[in-house]
Structure 1
Amino acid sequence: MPNENGQRLQDFLPQTIIRIVSFWILAVLAMYMCVADHPESTYIRQSVRCLLYFWLGTGVRCIDTFMSACLGGDRDNDGVRDRVFRINTIAMMSVAFGLATSFLGDIWCIQLVIARLHAFQEAFGESLPCIRVINCLVVLMKVCMPFVAFAARLPDPTTLVVSTFTTLCLLVLVALVCRAYLLPLKALRDSRKVDSKDEAMGKQLLKETQFAMRVIFVAQLGFVVAGFSMATFLLFFGLERVTRTNAVTSIYQYSGLADSLGNAFCIVLLSASSLSLPKFSPKKAAVAIEEENLVNTNCTCGQQLARTSCQASQPWKSAAANATCDACAWEIKVAELANRRVSVSNLLSFYSQLGSTRLMSHFDPEKSTTNDVVRHAVIPESRHGTMGEALAESWHGVEDKSRKYFPMQNVLTKDYAPRMVTHHWANRFRDLVAAVVADALHLSRWDSVAQHLSFGDVEMLRERLAESGSLDSQYWICALCINQHASICGNSMGVRDTVTGDVLPFCDCSTPKYFNDHPVECELNKFDSMMQHLHRRYAQGFLQVVAIDTDFNLFSRAWCVAELVEAHNSQMDQHVMLHSPTVLEEHSGQLSSLKVENCESSRPEDKEAILLKIGAEADIERFNGRLQQLLLGSKGLLAGWLDGQKLLQEVGAIAARARTRCLADAHNARGMELNQCQHDRNGDNSDDFAV
C-alpha cells in the first residue's frame, strides 16, 4: 500500500541501501578522525565532535527509514498507508533527532568555517571584503535554521517560504566567504610576479605562496560543497511539505544524506592537514634514556654531590678544597656547565659585531654557519693569552669593558632559569640567533626575525625585546657555553669555511684538551646530565628550545636527538622554533623514517656513547618508537603547528607579507616612472634651450 507521498515498499529499498552506505562512510571518517594523531586544540576537538554528531544522526535516521518501510497501517481506511511517525513514538523521536542533527549540525559546520576565516583575517592584518555582512548572515542563519524546523508544524506555505529565504541567505553566505578570500589570493598571485625578479629569494617565496594558495583553495572548496548540500536540503525540506510526491520526497531524503556527507567532507577537508595516522608497532612502548652517567654514580667520598648539587648555585666552589670521587667530580662539572649562560642582549650585541673589521670580517648572514662563527669569532674572542675559556665565561667575567665592544649585563649574576637551545652547527648562525630572539619574543616561527637580522635591524629587535621584558632572558647555547679551547679548538678537521672556501683556522692555545678518554673532565658528554640538573634545580622554570633549521638537519645529529628525547622523558617543557609551515610541510615526511642509529656525530665516539646509553638492539628499537611519538604523535613537538586555526593564521601572515611586497614593488615602479617623466621633461627643456 502506498503512503501519502506515493511511496511503496520497493521505493524504500534504494533509500535504505544509500542510508546504510552513508552511515558507514561517516563511520569510517569518524574513526579516522578519532584514531588519527592530531594536536591538542579546541578547533580539532570541535571538528571531531561535529563529525560524530552527523554520524549519530545518520544512524538514527536509518531507524526512521526502516520503520517507515515496514510499519504503518490504514486506520482511516482511505487506501493510503499512514505515516509511521504519527503512530509510533520511536519513529517520531528518530525523525525529530534526525532533523535536529541536520539543522544544528549545519550551524556547527558554519561556525567552524567562520572561525577559520576570522583566524585568517587576524593574521592578514586587514579586514576582508564583506566580513561584516558575513557575520550578520551567520547570526541570521543561527536564527533561521531552527525556525525552519519549527515552521514544519505551521501551514504548508510557511515552511516553503522560510526554507527558501534561508536557502538564499546561505548561498549568499557561501559566495561572500569565497569572495572574502579573493583579496589575499590576489595578493599572493601578484607577489609571484614580484618574487620572480629575485632569483635568490624567488624559489622559497614561490613555495610559500603556492602553499598558502592551496590552503585557501581547500577552505573555499570545503565550504562550497557543504554550503550547496545544506542549500539543497533546506530547499527540498520546504518543497516536500507542499508537493507530496514520490519524486520530491525521494530527493528530499537524498538531499538530507547529501547534507550530512557534504558537511563531513568539509570538516575532514579543513582538518586534513592536522591529522596523521599513528604508526602502530608491537614494540612501540616508550622507553626512557638511561639516567646513569658514563662513570660510576655511586659516591665513595661521602659528599653525595649528586643529590645536593642542584640546591647550590656554585657547588664546585664549595667542594673544590675537598677530595672528591669520580661521581661527585662529574656532578661538579655538570653544575659548572649548567651555570654558564648568555642573555639575548649579549647574543644580539655579539651578532652585531660579526662582519666588522675586528670580528670575522667576511661574515655573511645568508651563508656563514655556526661552525664558521665558532672557529672565526667564538674561539678567538674567548682566548686570553695562552689559555682559553667558554665565551659565556668571558662575557660574564669581564671587568674591563674596553676589552669588549659591548657592555655586559648584570643579569648574568642573578640566578634565573635559563633555556637550553638544541641546534645544529651546520645551520646558519643568523638562523640560530633568529630562533633564540623569536622564542624570547614568544613567537612560534623565526623567518621574519631572520629577515631583520639580515638587514641589520638589531636595534629594532632590541627595542621589541625590551618592550616585552625579554631582553635579559638567559639561554644555554653549546657553541657559546662550552669551552671550545678544552676540546676542539686545536683541530678544524679539514672543514672549509662556507663563504671563503678556506680551511677553518685552528687555535694553538695551551688549554688542556679532554675528550671521551677523560669522561669526568670532558665537557662534550654531559648534555643529558646537565639538562637533568637544570630541570631539578629550576623545576618548571627550565625548558628546551628546539631551533629547527630549514633543512631539518637537526634531526640527523645524534646529540640533538638524544637531547630531545631526554627532555621529553624528564617531562620538560619544549618549545619548537620553525622557519615556517612551508618548511614543515616539505620535510615532515622524512621524520617518519628517522632512527637514532642512522644519525651522525662529529666524533664517532660520541655516537657510540649515546647508543651505549640507550642499550641493546631491542632498546634502540623502542627508543626509535618513542622518538616517532615525540615528533609526530598527537602530543608531539610538531603537533601544534598543524592545528586548523593556527594553519590559517600562518597562511594569513604569508598573504600579508605577499601584499606588502606587492605594494613595495608598485611604489618603486611608480617612483621610477616619476623619475623617468622628470628626466624626459628635463631633456625637452634642454632641447628647447639649445634651439
Structure 2
Amino acid sequence: SMSQSQSSCLKACLTMLVLALSLAVWIWPPLAYGRALLDGCADLTFQSPWSYFLIAAGSFWAAGVTLLLLARGRSSPHLRSATGCALTLWLYSISIACQTLLSCRLGNVSQVFQIFNYLSSFFSVASFVWVPVLVMSRISALEASMGQPLGLWEMRWVIVVTAVLYALFLIVIVYSWRLGFVPLFVIYVVASADGVFSVFYLTFTGLAVRAFCTPLRLLKEMRNAGYIGKETWAAAVSLGQLQIGGLLASTISTVLSVGSIHYGLVLAKPDESGRNMFTFVAIPQCLDLIANSTCVLFLSGAVHMPNAVLGNALARQRNRAALLGNSELVVDRKWHAKVSELAERGFTLESLLSFYKRLGTDYMLHYKPDVHRTSDVVRQAIIPLSRPSGVAYAVTMMKGSCSLPDAFVTHNWGNLFRDLVAGICADALGLSEYALVSELLDRDVVALESMLANSGKIQKTYWVCAFSIAQHSCICQTISASDLDPVHGTEPPTCDCGRPKCFNNSPEVDASWLCLGLLSYFLSS
C-alpha cells in the first residue's frame, strides 16, 4: 500500500542519514586535520582529541541501536516511538561529538561551537523526556493486559516535576556560562536542584521497577499453578530482566552524569587544565549515551518480542478469573494443574491418521468404517492400546509431546468414527463438508496425508476427548447396552487395569466445573 511504501522510503532515508553522518563523524576529522588531530593526545583534557574519540564511541553505539531499530520490518506504534527515541539520542551524540571536536580545534568561543551547544541541549532534553515516555508506554500496555493499575498516574506526575527540574538545570547552566563566572547562588541552586532531581528520578525508576515486577510475580504464581509453560515463563523473565536492567542502568547513568556534568560545567570551570572537564563531562556523556541507547533497545521489544506472549498470558489469567469466578474448587492449585494438563493434550493430524490406518490391520481387526462408531473404537482400540500406560492415548500417539491444540473438537460418540476423522481433516483443509475426505479415508489414506502435508496442515493439533481423556481413569471397566459391537453383536471386554476411577459423583470431581475450566482455558488461549 501507499502508506507502507512511504514508511519504507522514510526508513531507507533515515538509515542512509544515520550511516552517512556516523561515518562522517569518524572519517572526516582524520581526513581534515590529519596528524594535527593528534596534537595534545598526551593530555587527558576536555580540549584533547581523547574527548572527541570518547564521545564518538558513544555516538557509534547510539547509531548501531538506531540502525537496528530501523531495520525492523513491520513496526508497531511502540517500536516506532522507540526508534524515534533512539534517533534523538543519536542526534544528541552527533551534536556533542561535533561540539567536542570544535572545542579541540577551535576552542569554545566560535559561533559554530555555540550552535552545536544549543543543539545538544535541545536533543538532551528531548531524549531525557522520551525515555521515560517509552517506559510509561510499556507499562501502559501491561496495565491493559492485566486490567489493573500499575502506578502509571503517579509516574506521570513524578516525571513532569523531574522534567521541570531538568529544564531548570539547563537554564542555570546557560545563565552561568553567559555571565562568564559562577555566582554563589548558582552553586546553591545547582546543588539543590541536582539533589531534588536525583530523588525524583530515582522515585520514578522505583515506581517503574515495581510496575514491571508486579506482572512477573503474577506470572510466577501462574507458573506454579500450571497455567503457563516453562517457555512462556522463561520468556517473561528474560524480557523483565532486560527491561528492568536497562532502566536501572539508564537511571544510574543519567543521575550520575547530570550531577557530574553540572559540576564540570559550573564548579570545575575555573580549572584551566581541562582535566576536570574531561573527567566530569566527557566520560559521563559517553557512558550515559551507551546506557540510554541500550535501555531504549530493551524497551523497544526489538531484541526480545515475547511481550505479546507476556500480555497474552496475563490476558488468559484475567479471562479465567472472569469465567471461573470465586469458586473454592477453582482456587485449588491441583484442580488448576489438572485443567491445564488436560487442555494441553493436543495431538497432530499425522498421529491421528497413523492411528486410523492401522485400524482393522494391527488392532480391532474387524473394524468396518461404515459401521463402527467412535464409542466402538474407544472400547475396542483406544482402551486396550492405552492399558499398559494408563494415560490418555493422545500422550502415547504423540510420544509424550502433547501440546495446546489448535482446535477443540466436540462430537457424538454414536457417530461413525470415520466421519469424526473426516470432519477433523476437512476442517484442516478448509473444506465446508467432509464427504470427499470420508471417501479418501475409505480408499486412499496416503493421498489424504499428501494433501494435508502439501497444505502444511499435517502438523495441526486437535483435542478430542476420546483420545485426550485417560479412559482408564473413568469408563474402561463399565459397559452399557449401547456398547454392543454393531458387527458381532457382542459386548466388548471390560478392562482389568484396576486403576482408580473418577466420575461425576466423585468428591474431588465436579464435571460442570471441569468443563467450564477447560472451556475457559481454550477461550483464553
What is the letter of the counterpart of residue 267 of structure 1? V
1:113 aligned residue: 135
Contact 2:429 2:455 in 1 (8 A): no
Q: Go from structure 1 to structure 2 and tell me whether the alpha carbon gap of 1:275 and 1:120 turns closer, same or farther (over 3 Å shift).
A: closer
Tell me the CA shift for residue 188 of structure 1.
3.5
Tell me the CA shift for residue 56 of structure 1.
2.2
Contact 2:260 2:281 in 1 (8 A): yes
Q: Go from structure 1 to structure 2 and tell me whether the alpha carbon gap of 1:270 and 1:558 turns closer, same or farther (over 3 Å shift).
A: farther
Pair 1:433-2:410 in alignment: no
Tell me the CA shift for residue 131 of structure 1.
3.9
Q: Go from structure 1 to structure 2 and tell me whether the alpha carbon gap of 1:213 and 1:475 turns closer, same or farther (over 3 Å shift).
A: same
Residue 165 of structure 1 aligns to a residue in which SS? helix
2:69 aligned residue: 33
Which runs of 5 or more residues in structure 2 are unaligned?
Answer: 1-42, 177-185, 306-341, 357-368, 372-396, 411-426, 462-516
Pair 1:260-2:292 in alignment: no
Identity in percent: 13
Pair 1:249-2:270 in alignment: no
Q: Distance in 2 between matches of 1:272 and 1:368?
A: 32
| Residue of structure 2 aligned with 1:366, choices 335, 339, 345 | 345
| Residue of structure 2 aligned with 1:179, choices 196, 201, 210 | 210
Q: Distance in 2 between matches of 1:275 and 1:131?
A: 23
Deviations 1:536-559 (A, max 9, x none): xxxxxxxxxxxxxxxxxx9xx432
Deviations 1:278-337 (A, max 9, x none): xxxxxxxxxxxxxxxxxxxxxxxxxxxxxxxxxxxxxxxxxxxxxxxxxxxxxxxxxxxx
Pair 1:230-2:254 in alignment: yes
Contact 1:373 1:429 in 2 (8 A): no
Q: Distance in 1 between matches of 2:205 and 2:403?
A: 47
Which runs of 5 or more residues in structure 1 are unaligned?
Answer: 1-6, 73-82, 196-200, 277-362, 377-385, 389-424, 435-449, 454-473, 494-514, 516-522, 528-553, 564-575, 578-656, 662-691
What is the letter of the counterpart of residue 217 of structure 1? Q
What is the letter of the counterpart of residue 345 of structure 2? E
Deviations 1:161-206 (A, max 9, x none): 33332222111211221122333333334445444xxxxx7xx623
Deviations 1:13-64 (A, max 9, x none): 32122122222222233333323x3432111122222212222221222221
2:388 aligned residue: none
Tell me the CA shift for residue 256 of structure 1.
2.0
Q: Distance in 1 between matches of 2:191 and 2:84?
A: 31
2:454 aligned residue: 558
1:46 aligned residue: 81
Deviations 1:328-379 (A, max 9, x none): xxxxxxxxxxxxxxxxxxxxxxxxxxxxxxxxxxx99825555787898xxx
What is the letter of the counterpart of residue 366 of structure 1? R
Deviations 1:415-436 (A, max 9, x none): xxxxxxxxxx9998983335xx
Q: Distance in 2 between matches of 1:430 and 1:186?
A: 24
Q: Aligned residues, how many? A: 316
Q: Go from structure 1 to structure 2 and tell me whether the alpha carbon gap of 1:484 and 1:55 turns closer, same or farther (over 3 Å shift).
A: same
Contact 2:346 2:402 in 1 (8 A): yes
Matches within 5 A, 1:100-179: 100-128=122-150, 130-154=151-175, 156-157=186-187, 158-179=189-210
Q: Distance in 1 between matches of 2:259 and 2:345?
A: 59
Contact 2:66 2:90 in 1 (8 A): yes
Deviations 1:459-486 (A, max 9, x none): xxxxxxxxxxxxxxx9973485562133
What is the letter of the counterpart of residue 53 of structure 2? I
What is the letter of the counterpart of residue 277 of structure 2? T
Tell me the CA shift for residue 263 of structure 1.
1.0
What is the letter of the counterpart of residue 283 of structure 2? Y
1:63 aligned residue: 98
Tell me the CA shift for residue 127 of structure 1.
2.3
Tell me the CA shift for residue 134 of structure 1.
1.7
What is the letter of the counterpart of residue 136 of structure 1? W
Q: Go from structure 1 to structure 2 and tell me whether the alpha carbon gap of 1:38 and 1:252 turns closer, same or farther (over 3 Å shift).
A: same
| Residue of structure 2 aligned with 1:15, choices 51, 60, 65 | 51
Structure number having the greater helix percentage:
2
Q: Distance in 2 between matches of 1:365 and 1:71?
A: 70
Q: Go from structure 1 to structure 2 and tell me whether the alpha carbon gap of 1:242 and 1:429 turns closer, same or farther (over 3 Å shift).
A: closer
Matches within 5 A, 1:317-332: none
Q: Go from structure 1 to structure 2 and tell me whether the alpha carbon gap of 1:483 and 1:226 turns closer, same or farther (over 3 Å shift).
A: same
Q: Go from structure 1 to structure 2 and tell me whether the alpha carbon gap of 1:491 and 1:222 turns closer, same or farther (over 3 Å shift).
A: same
Contact 1:38 1:275 in 2 (8 A): no
Contact 1:106 1:263 in 2 (8 A): no
What is the letter of the counterpart of residue 146 of structure 1? A
Q: Distance in 2 between matches of 1:367 and 1:275?
A: 28
Contact 1:163 1:237 in 2 (8 A): no
Residue 140 of structure 2 aligns to a residue in which SS? helix
1:97 aligned residue: 119
Contact 1:164 1:238 in 2 (8 A): no
Matches within 5 A, 1:199-214: 205-214=229-238
Tell me the CA shift for residue 258 of structure 1.
2.0
What is the letter of the counterpart of residue 186 of structure 1? R
Residue 443 of structure 2 aligns to a residue in which SS? coil
Tell me the CA shift for residue 221 of structure 1.
0.5
1:490 aligned residue: 443
1:651 aligned residue: none
Tell me the CA shift for residue 247 of structure 1.
4.5
Q: Go from structure 1 to structure 2 and tell me whether the alpha carbon gap of 1:179 and 1:433 turns closer, same or farther (over 3 Å shift).
A: same
Q: Distance in 1 between matches of 2:171 and 2:404?
A: 63
Matches within 5 A, 1:519-534: none
Q: Distance in 2 between matches of 1:10 and 1:139?
A: 33
Q: Distance in 2 between matches of 1:144 and 1:105?
A: 15
TM-score (norm 2): 0.51
> What is the CA RMSD across the aligned residues, in angstroms?
4.4
Residue 345 of structure 2 aligns to a residue in which SS? coil
Q: Go from structure 1 to structure 2 and tell me whether the alpha carbon gap of 1:10 and 1:118 turns closer, same or farther (over 3 Å shift).
A: closer
Residue 441 of structure 2 aligns to a residue in which SS? coil
Q: Distance in 2 between matches of 1:237 and 1:19?
A: 14
**Greater Cα offset, 239-248 or 207-216:** 239-248
Pair 1:188-2:219 in alignment: yes
Contact 2:135 2:208 in 1 (8 A): no
What is the letter of the counterpart of residue 249 of structure 1? M
What is the letter of the counterpart of residue 560 of structure 1? G
Contact 2:47 2:100 in 1 (8 A): no
Tell me the CA shift for residue 9 of structure 1.
6.6
Residue 113 of structure 2 aligns to a residue in which SS? helix
Contact 1:225 1:266 in 2 (8 A): yes
Matches within 5 A, 1:522-671: 557-560=453-456
Q: Distance in 1 between matches of 2:44 and 2:100?
A: 12
> Higher relative CO (CA 8 A, sep ≥ 6), structure 1 or 2?
1
TM-score (norm 1): 0.40
